[in-house]
Structure 1
Amino acid sequence: MRIRAVRSRGLSVRLDIRALTVVVLLIVAALVASVVLIGTGDFPIPAADVIRTLMGNGDAGQEFIVNELRLPRVLVGLLVGAALGLGGALFQSISRNPLGSPDVLGLGQGSTAGALIMIVLFKGSAFQVAGGSLVGGLLTGLAIYVLAWKRGVHGYRLVLVGIGVSAVVMAVNGYLLTKADLVDAARAVVWMTGSLNGRGWEQVWPLLTLCAVLVPLVLANARPLRMLEMGDDVAYALGVRVERTRMLLMLSAVLLTASATAAAGPVSFVALTAPQLSRRLTRSPGPNLVPAMCMGAALLIVADWASQRAFGADQLPVGVVTGVVGGVYLLWLLVTERKAGRI
């Protein structure tokens, strides 16, 4: 159901009730899961005490556990999930293809290559590994854009080029692992799984700053992005600067994905599944940017909670859970697309 509210001075606002309801429910689910996750661990804390501590009324022990140990991890999870969900929605909308996600296009592999170079060749610190991951993701995104360019960047060409780049970068990553000593190889494999273990405020602030800049920029271009989904010719006719808008949004998507990977490692399939699930819930046309962002945050927090409840905080990285769920979803999506005759 949609309503149109008309205000003074010619300003008209259309409100999609179903989409708004989905967004509110996803935010509530993410917040509830966050409170439960903060209370989960070797020292369990009831949800009421977690809320009281977050409001500044907990005892000294709870203040330390909640604010210094568990809250940063949860915030990184929320920000990483939101960044991946939004980045995936942008790529799928630009490519007009449900398979056009950073996981398929190889951006995660590019970020992994940057991190492996810092780990294996330079014995880098955690900060240097994060920086290498960010640079690797950006360079991979640039390579995909350049190689896919032919009088513009279009759907399946972008996906096919991304798959090819991903295969090449995977080979490079395999070579780097064979050159690593045992300690560096073990460190690299742990990072490559994707995990929120040990994440602190030093990961929260850079990611929060980047999201604070990029999210409003992306949302401000939501209308041109929706026109791009209709095709370049239609977008040109409607006054959209097609290549400028596409390049700006692709750069934003690459930055969001690369920064999320730098903060938590290559968490698999959140960028693929979150936009698709949110679109099915809202049943709305267009990129569904805000629902995808909220879905990504909720998915990652729930996955982290599930991994801790099943195996303990330090035994199963969240990337394993999202990889299993996302892999099943990818198989279902491929079967669905094949039956529809689109692949």
Structure 2
Amino acid sequence: MIKETVNLIIVGRTKRRRRYLFVTTLLAIIAVALCCAILMLGNTMYPVQDVIRVLLGEEVQGASFAVGTIRFPRMVAGVFAGFAFGVAGTVFQTMLRNPLANPNVIGITAGSSVAAVFCIIVLQASNTVVSIASVVGGLATVFIIFLLSKGHSFSIGRLILIGIGIQAMLNAVISYLLMIGQQHDIPTAMRWLSGSLNGAKMETLYPLIVIVLICTPIIILLGKRLDILELGEQAATSLGVDTNKTRLILIISSVLIIALATATTGPIAFVAFLSGPIAKRLVGVGFSTIIPAGLVGIILVLASDLIGQFAFVTRYPVGVITGILGAPYLIYLLIRMNRKGDL
């Protein structure tokens, strides 16, 4: 009897592992295909061989500028920003055990946005200063939200409600900054706030690339502890997890990557919100969704960018398309949670 039970467990885990590997591989293939589409498509469509030659450093008339200077940085920005939003979103949702507890909804992205818009409109600062201010703004917002939500004991519901309130207040600050800003600075700020890959340049992407490459392995190494945190504070503590230390490292790593992603592309709406639930639905239970969520984030950003560029007469920033996709899901989720009594 015991042997049969063990065999069933082994078979079940093998099936889940195969599903995880299949889904992750498929997501990676789709992400690569979208990267190729970004590089090939535009006002002029270039064949694969020309794109490869440009990427290898050869000079190809017309293609070198279009692919190397415009499309390649755009693609890199979409890949690393999408991955950052996806990973950070699923970390917060898993750690706080609530699909609403993502950086967009609880105000972390808004904190980064306020700092960045202030630098753009008031200080007229460089991209480097905007990136640093965005990170500081995100970390400060996290600290304030957790401080206000602590009370006598940590409460996830209280944290989400306070985060939503902080987000509303910060959005009001952004509106005020736009009202007092110089006329020539407002289009830049508005384009940034909508979430866009337009105008991406490689020299501005290096901080995001470095932070994602540093923080992602840290988050992956803490993946098992993150899954244990989902069981609750008492269960995690009884299983030997230092919840405060683990939560602190995860929060700092996640805020760093999402703040720099926000500083680079603007707050692309709902990518952090959608990536985790989609990845969890595709992968199933038993394995970490960190990498799949990052890949879903890449797919959402690149696919939305292609839709925004080519599906309509007018070209729309990527954040507009992701907002159209994410808003109905948010309404559905709120209705479902209300019926279950989770709100």
Structure 1 residue 242: deviation in Å?
0.8
Quickly say closer, same or farther: Cα 1:141–1:268, change in 2 above 3 A: same
Query: Matches of 2:64 and 2:243 in 1, distance apart?
Result: 50
CA shift digits 1:174-214 (9 cap, x unpaired): 22122112222222111111100010112322111101110
**What SS is found at the alignment partner of 2:44?**
coil
Structure 1 residue 315: deviation in Å?
3.2
CA shift digits 1:91-116 (9 cap, x unpaired): 10111001111110111211111012
Which residue matches 1:180?
A: 181
Query: Is the CA contact (8 Å cut-off) linking 1:268 and 1:323 kept in structure 2?
Result: yes
The count of corresponding residues between Structure 1 and Structure 2 is 335
Q: What 5-or-longer segments of structure 1 have no aligned partner?
A: 6-12
* 2:326 paired with 1:326: yes
Identity of paired residues, percent?
35
Note the 1:183-202 alignment, pairs <5 A: 183-202=184-203
Note the 1:134-153 alignment, pairs <5 A: 134-150=135-151, 153=154
Which residue matches 1:243?
A: 244
Query: Matches of 2:229 and 2:122 in 1, distance apart?
Result: 42
Structure 1 residue 65: deviation in Å?
2.5
Query: Matches of 1:109 and 1:168 in 2, distance apart?
Result: 9
Query: Matches of 2:50 and 2:331 in 1, distance apart?
Result: 42
Query: Matches of 1:177 and 1:322 in 2, distance apart?
Result: 23
Query: Matches of 2:255 and 2:170 in 1, distance apart?
Result: 16
Note the 1:74-85 alignment, pairs <5 A: 74-85=75-86
Which residue matches 2:316?
A: 316
Query: Matches of 2:87 and 2:134 in 1, distance apart?
Result: 19
Note the 1:89-238 alignment, pairs <5 A: 89-150=90-151, 153-238=154-239
For structure 1, which segment, 47-56 or 100-109, has the greater mean C-alpha deviation from structure 2 after superposition?
A: 47-56
Query: Matches of 1:176 and 1:64 in 2, distance apart?
Result: 36
Structure 1 residue 129: deviation in Å?
2.6
Query: Matches of 1:229 and 1:31 in 2, distance apart?
Result: 31
Quickly say closer, same or farther: Cα 1:165–1:35, change in 2 above 3 A: same
Query: Is the CA contact (8 Å cut-off) linking 2:103 and 2:272 kept in structure 1?
Result: yes
Structure 1 residue 59: deviation in Å?
2.6
What RMSD in Å do the two structures reach over aligned CA positions? 2.4
Quickly say closer, same or farther: Cα 1:75–1:284, change in 2 above 3 A: same
Query: Matches of 2:123 and 2:135 in 1, distance apart?
Result: 16
Quickly say closer, same or farther: Cα 1:19–1:31, change in 2 above 3 A: same
CA shift digits 1:131-159 (9 cap, x unpaired): 32222222112211222224664421221
Note the 1:330-341 alignment, pairs <5 A: 330-341=330-341
Q: What is the identity, as a one-letter code, of the residue corresponding to 1:316?
A: Y
Q: What 5-or-longer segments of structure 2 have no aligned partner?
A: 1-7
Q: What is the identity, as a one-letter code, of the residue corresponding to 2:266?
A: G
Which residue matches 2:60?
A: 59
**What SS is found at the alignment partner of 2:105?**
helix
CA shift digits 1:8-66 (9 cap, x unpaired): xxxxx997111111111111001001101111112221345434543456734323322
Query: Is the CA contact (8 Å cut-off) linking 1:80 and 1:260 kept in structure 2?
Result: yes
Structure 1 residue 287: deviation in Å?
5.1
Query: Is the CA contact (8 Å cut-off) linking 1:38 and 1:74 kept in structure 2?
Result: yes
CA shift digits 1:272-324 (9 cap, x unpaired): 00101111111225651111111101111111111111247x93111101111
Query: Is the CA contact (8 Å cut-off) linking 2:304 and 2:322 kept in structure 1?
Result: yes
Query: Is the CA contact (8 Å cut-off) linking 2:135 and 2:255 kept in structure 1?
Result: no
Query: Matches of 1:335 and 1:221 in 2, distance apart?
Result: 32
Structure 1 residue 77: deviation in Å?
0.4
Which residue matches 1:9?
A: none
Deviating 4+ runs (over 4 angstroms)? 2-5, 55-58
Which residue matches 2:263?
A: 262
**What SS is found at the alignment partner of 1:42?**
coil
TM-score w.r.t. length of structure 1: 0.91
Q: What is the identity, as a one-letter code, of the residue corresponding to 2:284?
A: R
Query: Matches of 2:198 and 2:216 in 1, distance apart?
Result: 26
Which residue matches 2:5?
A: none
Query: Is the CA contact (8 Å cut-off) linking 1:278 and 1:292 kept in structure 2?
Result: yes
Query: Matches of 2:280 and 2:16 in 1, distance apart?
Result: 16
Q: What is the identity, as a one-letter code, of the residue corresponding to 1:189?
A: M
